Structure 1
Amino acid sequence: MPKKKPDPKTVALAKAIVEEYQPESVEEMQSALKDVFGPLFEQLLQGEMEHHLGYSAHSREDKEDDNRRNGYGTKTVRTSYGEVPIDVPRDRSGTFEPQLIPKRQKDVSAIENKVLAMYARGMSQRDIAKTIEDIYGFQISHEMISNITDTVLSELETWQSRPLSKCYAFLFVDCMYVTIRDGYEAKGYAVYTILGYTLQGDKEILGLWLNESESKNRWMQIFDELKARGVEDVFFLSMDGVSGLEEGAKAIFPTVVVQRCIVHLVRNSLRYVPSKDYKAFTASLKKLYGAPSLKACQSQLETFRQQWSQYPGAIDVWVRNFKHVEQLFDYGSAIRKIMYTTNAVESVHASFRKVTKKGAFPQENALLKVLYLRVKELHSKWSEGHIQNWSLVMNQLLLLDSLENRVSHYISIS
């Protein structure tokens, strides 16, 4: 059976999918993708046939054997976007055994995810195209890769506006900067990330937001958005000390306890200390914020001030922020261990940097696609277990007069 001549619009769809189909819903996007993946599968199979026969479709060279192409068979395969009809090349001897879509196999949904998986791991479009060509002998354009990865945008939009839990025991907020190209100019954009711990002991990234810089006004807008998405109460919020952030958080969630990150305070104070004294200085600090009781902590502050009086800038960092050290002792050790640092969200950003280090992104959506795919991987990893010692944390929360009723209420309705 002769192969049907491909529709030029279908062949060029990877470059013009949005303009051609203008999808306005997930269903319409899935319908359009079926037109993309059909020709893609067919060309990959053509590459396998060329490797099997040892010559290209247009080669006129004489071969030792008389095995030749023998038309096409039709096959309908199931993908994650629905059923897709494809033409499978055949040979005269019947010895061609496709590896991409083996004979009798009709479910190929996993293949489509390969491009997305490589993109999620920070591979550039050039690297993805090279990998596809090395594995399958098929050249895939950068435009096609971009359009394939664009399929996550509607999913991202839904995720960004999804309803959230009514209560989070802990929120960790932080920003990281990523470069985005604006014409011929490269600009650093702030990626706002909020990581939450639910009352069930699960980790959840509440959302991702972009802005040209970090500001208290943008944080306040984000907290207001969280409330609009269903968040009624937050017990503790750990931050790195952006000016005005504490006031902005309390304007939206009046009862939240805002904790300055102790690790950031250590870093800030070390700016005033010569490297030769780093070790001894940090050892003194551990005795301060790691004291067994509030009284011992207050006593250690005086000792610390006298011991390091030659570095007034470093001492001033701790004097100005000592209320954030003191309030740690209002809570049990398991709660203190969680709330005293923003390391949890900084770990998320470290994971993000692994997939954004390739350089500047051409637009905001290109960056958001990579970050969202990374978020999905992190959530999949976190689903395997709860936060360590969470039962001890919950017991300590229930022992607090200020939280006992709130904890019980949200547990009863969750």
Structure 2
Amino acid sequence: MAKPKRNPYSEELANKIIEEYQPKSVEDMQDALKDIFGPMFESMLKGEMNHHLGYESNDKAEKDTENRRNGYGKKNIHTSSGALDIQVPRDRDGSFNPKLIPKRKKDVSAIESKVIAMYARGMSQRDISSTVEDIYGFSVSHDMVSDITDSVLPDLEEWQARPLSNCYAFVFVDCMYTTIRNQYETKKYAVYTILGYTMEGTKEILGLWLNETESKHKWMQIFDEIKARGVEDIFFISMDGVSGLEEGAQAIFPNVVVQRCMVHLIRNSVKYVPSKDYKPFTQALRKVYGAPSLKACHSAFESFKQQWAAYPGAIDVWIRNFNHVEQLYDYGSAIRKVMYTTNAVESIHSSFRKVTKKGAFPNENALLKLLFLRIRELEDKWDGGHLRNWAMVMNQLLVHDHFKDRVLKYLE
């Protein structure tokens, strides 16, 4: 029977617990878990107090209000890991009644797995609110959910600044747009995403960045950043047609091969083709960029230009970018299959849209927090698995003069 897949973050946490506590029995493990759940409950209770008072601890607003924090009270609760003592924040007028662990309630043994699931699955605020109502029998506002779930922000900041691998064989870059509310107006923001394939053939999202527009200058800043985080070399970058992006990428990584996405070129060219001809037009194109050799590609392209001469706008898109089609044939078929499209990163954006389409976000942190949790969910599905046919990709890189020494350098 195959080993079941597990969340890599869960395994990392488990290893840290074992290293720190050195449990020798089930009872020792239960004691370790109690140490973890205590700070989790206390952090969420602090979030509730922030929401109740309307400001965070040590905020200047505290001087201008009659009701303030008033230390902590000790409370003994019963969890699935046994009895646990926690510190519950108090306010001066005694009006704070936590929703997470209400007054006079001591048994919370049913909520731990659900609380962890809310963080791990990247639920929307509405879904988290519904889950809390299902657990406790009461509803909470979106603002309170935001206050409580903000505990993920330090993890997000650490992830955004983490060191990266020194080399990525393939990198895919793309932008998607979503909406952020700014006081009384909404604005579209570009979400910049970079997906990398490591030398071992595993997927890794290098980071997320926000900007009001997509531009080569922002991409240059991003490439500078990932270089500062440890990336020394990239073999291939697949991208759409943002003006200046190719030159910008090569300014930071001089040896990189920049490849235009064939799917984007198809989208750009079909704008000039009537809908009734979409299917035969794209089938003819597939014979061009999917030809078995460069000679066959040139032959198919000449036939394509003659067949679709009635649509000069569509043909011109491919004439202007035909060097990117020819470039594919500098490499073996396994490499071509990986580099010819940005579909891999667009698939990630498709997953993002499932949780961003519900409406505008109140601020950048709210958006990044949700996308970060979504990434964790995606990485759990990938589970560090190798890309299909990766061994053939590496073999074809090793026999290529431009990559042989670089591959050997980073595989050592």
**Which of 2, 11, 20 is the aligned partner of 2:57?**
20
Instruction: Give distance in 2, aligned partners of 1:206 and 1:14.
Output: 33
Asked whether the equivalents of residues 48 and 147 of structure 2 are also in contact (C-alpha less than 8 Å), the reply is no
3-state SS of paired residue (1:276): helix
Question: Does 2:104 match 1:101?
Answer: no
Task: Decide whether aligned partners of structure 1 residues 409 and 126 sit closer, same or farther in structure 2, where only a CA change above 3 A counts.
Answer: closer
Equivalent position of 1:376 in the other structure: 376
Task: Decide whether aligned partners of structure 1 residues 89 and 209 sit closer, same or farther in structure 2, where only a CA change above 3 A counts.
Answer: closer
Asked whether the equivalents of residues 48 and 148 of structure 2 are also in contact (C-alpha less than 8 Å), the reply is no
3-state SS of paired residue (1:12): helix
Amino acid in the other structure paired with 1:257: V
Amino acid in the other structure paired with 1:84: I
Task: Decide whether aligned partners of structure 1 residues 126 and 299 sit closer, same or farther in structure 2, where only a CA change above 3 A counts.
Answer: closer
Question: Does 2:297 match 1:297?
Answer: yes
Equivalent position of 1:112 in the other structure: 115
3-state SS of paired residue (2:236): strand
Q: How many residues align?
A: 344
The correspondence of residues 397-412 of structure 1 with structure 2, limited to 5 A, is 397-412=397-412
Q: Deviations over 1:150-197 (max 9, x none)?
A: 111111111101110000000000000000001111100000000000
Shift of 1:330: 0.7
Equivalent position of 2:36 in the other structure: none
Amino acid in the other structure paired with 2:49: A
The correspondence of residues 332-351 of structure 1 with structure 2, limited to 5 A, is 332-351=332-351
Amino acid in the other structure paired with 1:343: N
Equivalent position of 2:362 in the other structure: 362
Amino acid in the other structure paired with 1:101: S
- Percent identical among aligned pairs is 63
Instruction: Give distance in 2, aligned partners of 1:137 and 1:170.
Output: 49
Shift of 1:302: 1.3
Task: Decide whether aligned partners of structure 1 residues 301 and 9 sit closer, same or farther in structure 2, where only a CA change above 3 A counts.
Answer: closer
Amino acid in the other structure paired with 1:179: T
Instruction: Give distance in 2, aligned partners of 1:199 and 1:363.
Output: 36
Gaps of 5+ in 2: 1-44, 60-68, 89-100
Task: Decide whether aligned partners of structure 1 residues 11 and 173 sit closer, same or farther in structure 2, where only a CA change above 3 A counts.
Answer: closer
The correspondence of residues 129-140 of structure 1 with structure 2, limited to 5 A, is 129-140=129-140
Q: Deviations over 1:375-412 (max 9, x none)?
A: 11111111252111111111111111110000000010
Instruction: Give distance in 2, aligned partners of 1:333 and 1:156.
Output: 38
3-state SS of paired residue (1:20): coil
Asked whether the equivalents of residues 203 and 382 of structure 2 are also in contact (C-alpha less than 8 Å), the reply is yes
The correspondence of residues 212-231 of structure 1 with structure 2, limited to 5 A, is 212-231=212-231
Equivalent position of 2:247 in the other structure: 247
Instruction: Give distance in 2, aligned partners of 1:355 and 1:128.
Output: 13
Structure-2-length-normalised TM-score: 0.77
Gaps of 5+ in 1: 1-7, 23-31, 40-72, 92-96, 103-107
3-state SS of paired residue (1:234): strand
Instruction: Give distance in 2, aligned partners of 1:159 and 1:127.
Output: 24
Asked whether the equivalents of residues 181 and 361 of structure 1 are also in contact (C-alpha less than 8 Å), the reply is yes
The correspondence of residues 314-325 of structure 1 with structure 2, limited to 5 A, is 314-325=314-325
Question: Does 2:191 match 1:191?
Answer: yes
Q: Deviations over 1:305-346 (max 9, x none)?
A: 111111000000000000000010011111000000000000
Amino acid in the other structure paired with 1:285: L
Instruction: Give distance in 2, aligned partners of 1:304 and 1:206.
Output: 39
Amino acid in the other structure paired with 2:300: Q
Task: Decide whether aligned partners of structure 1 residues 89 and 319 sit closer, same or farther in structure 2, where only a CA change above 3 A counts.
Answer: closer
Instruction: Give distance in 2, aligned partners of 1:90 and 1:285.
Output: 70
Instruction: Give distance in 1, aligned partners of 2:138 and 2:235.
Output: 54
Instruction: Give distance in 1, aligned partners of 2:280 and 2:48.
Output: 67
Equivalent position of 1:145 in the other structure: 145
Instruction: Give distance in 1, aligned partners of 2:411 and 2:163.
Output: 18
Amino acid in the other structure paired with 1:146: S
Q: Deviations over 1:95-126 (max 9, x none)?
A: xx95x416xxxxx65343244246x13x3x34
Q: Deviations over 1:179-219 (max 9, x none)?
A: 00011111000000000000011100000000000000000
- Larger CA Rg, structure 1 vs 2: 1
Instruction: Give distance in 1, aligned partners of 2:103 and 2:279.
Output: 69
Instruction: Give distance in 2, aligned partners of 1:286 and 1:9.
Output: 58
Q: Deviations over 1:215-242 (max 9, x none)?
A: 0000000000011000000000000110
3-state SS of paired residue (2:56): helix
Task: Decide whether aligned partners of structure 1 residues 338 and 12 sit closer, same or farther in structure 2, where only a CA change above 3 A counts.
Answer: same
Asked whether the equivalents of residues 75 and 88 of structure 1 are also in contact (C-alpha less than 8 Å), the reply is no
Shift of 1:282: 1.1
Equivalent position of 1:395 in the other structure: 395
